[in-house]
Structure formats: C-alpha cells, structure tokens
C-alpha cells in the first residue's frame, strides 16, 4: 500500500492509512491479531518476559486490541501503566492501573479513548521506578523503526522524559496491522525511533 514518502506528503499518508484501516473488515483484524499473538507472540517476547513495569495503550477500534495483553500483565504479577493524554497539549502521563476490571469504569475522552480522569490520583511511572517496556500504537510504521503517530507528539514527548529518568529509555514495541506498514514514513528531528514493530508478517 505505502510508497516512499517525504514530509510534504505526510497529510496524504495519514489519510491513506486511515482509509486502509477502515477498509479492513473486523474478521481480518481479528485474524491479524491472532497472527500477531501466534507468530510474534507478544507475551512470549524476551523483552516482555524480562519486564516488570509495562506501559500499554487502551485500544481504539482501529488498533490492535490489547485487553488480553493487559490481562497477562496482571496474571504474571507485573505492573501495568496506561496513558492519560492532556488535551490541547502534547503532554501525556503513564498512570498505574490497579486491575483489568477497572478499565470499564474509566471515563471516555472526546477521542473515544478510555483514560483516568484528571482528578484520579495514581502513580505516574516516571515518578517512581520508570518503565521497562512501552507497547505503542501508531498510524503508520516502517521497518526501520520510524513511527507516524496521530499528529500530537504524545509518545515522542514522553520518551524524551523517559530518557531523563535514572532508569533511562524503556524498550519500545509498536503493535500494528499489516496495512500500517510502509516502505518509509516521514520523520522530523523530534521523532524518536522505536525499537521494534510487531505485525502479522514480521
């Protein structure tokens, strides 16, 4: 689907990626998710196994579904952190989740994302022990670790903060559908490469 692009085509690429995801039927998405689990085996990944403090996104409809991964994080006795996005800014925190069950009680943002409310007092990952691993969403990716987000810069800004933490930058894994893999995506000097992209055919 994707061709080599430069930064001038970024808007076109975003539109094309959204259309490709919209065209993918639910059964195909479920198949891709199963392929991800069985071929890549997120929960069998060496970085996942050795990580204790893991940040993971709560999925939107057009993203790899992470509920089973979150369940495994708790089953394995690991600590789970989820994003809290600040509107009208590029600031994001990773707040500790107490259980899988509490996800359903979280408020929904205007972007239709579940996240803790502003007055919900929780541990922020970087205020304590930092993070070992971040499982990341995105709109498009290439095989060199470049990521095209949804335009707000939340994850790049957060990774910059991670680099200043004594623990340093966590390992980063993006979870993607095959429709999201491009030959190249546009990057800027503020974009931080991710360590690995997991998708059906990788």
Tell me whether residue 2 is in a domain: no
- In this prediction, residue 38 has a pLDDT band, given cuts at 50, 70 and 90, of very low
CATH at 159 = 3.40.50.10420
- Please give the Cα distance from 131 to 90 (Å, whole number): 20
- The arithmetic mean of pLDDT across residues 93-113, rounded, is 93
Tell me the residue range of the domain where 163 lies: 7-198
What is the tally of structural domains in the chain? 1
Residues of each annotated binding site for ATP? 147-155
Tell me whether residue 142 is in a domain: yes
Helix, strand, coil content of the chain in percent (nearest 5): 35, 20, 45
Q: How far apart are the first and last CA of the chain?
A: 16
Residues of each annotated binding site for substrate? 58, 63
pLDDT (0 to 100) of residue 2: 45
Tell me whether residue 30 is in a domain: yes
- Please give the Cα distance from 80 to 56 (Å, whole number): 7
- The arithmetic mean of pLDDT across residues 132-148, rounded, is 92
Tell me whether residue 191 is in a domain: yes
Strands across the sheet with 181-182, in order? 147-148, 140-142, 181-182
Tell me whether residue 1 is in a domain: no
Q: Model confidence over 150-167: pLDDT tens digits?
A: 778 899 999 999 999 999
Q: Is the pLDDT of residue 118 over 70?
A: yes
- In this prediction, residue 4 has a pLDDT band, given cuts at 50, 70 and 90, of very low
pLDDT (0 to 100) of residue 47: 96
Q: Residue 119 gets which letter from DSSP?
A: T
Task: Note the pTM of the prediction, 2 decimals.
Answer: 0.84
Residues of each annotated binding site? 58, 63, 147-155
pLDDT (0 to 100) of residue 50: 97
């Amino acid at each position: 689907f994707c061709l080599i692009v430069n930064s001038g085509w970024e808007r076109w690429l975003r539109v094309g990626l959204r259309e490709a995801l919209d065209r993918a039927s639910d059964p195909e998405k479920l198949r891709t998710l199963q392929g991800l689990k069985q071929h890549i085996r997120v929960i069998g990944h060496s970085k996942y196994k050795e990580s204790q403090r893991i940040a993971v996104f709560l999925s939107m409809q057009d993203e790899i579904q992470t509920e089973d991964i979150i369940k495994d994080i708790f089953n394995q006795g690991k600590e789970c952190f989820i994003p809290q996005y600040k509107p009208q800014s590029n600031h994001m925190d990773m707040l500790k989740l107490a259980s899988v069950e509490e996800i359903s009680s979280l408020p929904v943002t205007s972007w239709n994302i579940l996240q803790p409310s502003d007055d919900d007092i929780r541990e922020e990952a970087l205020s304590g022990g930092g993070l070992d691993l971040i499982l990341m969403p995105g709109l498009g990716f290439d095989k060199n670790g470049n990521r095209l987000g949804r335009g707000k810069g939340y994850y790049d800004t957060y990774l910059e903060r991670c680099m200043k933490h004594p623990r340093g930058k966590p390992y980063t894994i993006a979870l993607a559908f095959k429709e999201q893999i491009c030959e190249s995506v546009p990057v800027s000097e503020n974009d931080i490469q991710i360590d690995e992209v997991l998708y059906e055919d990788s």
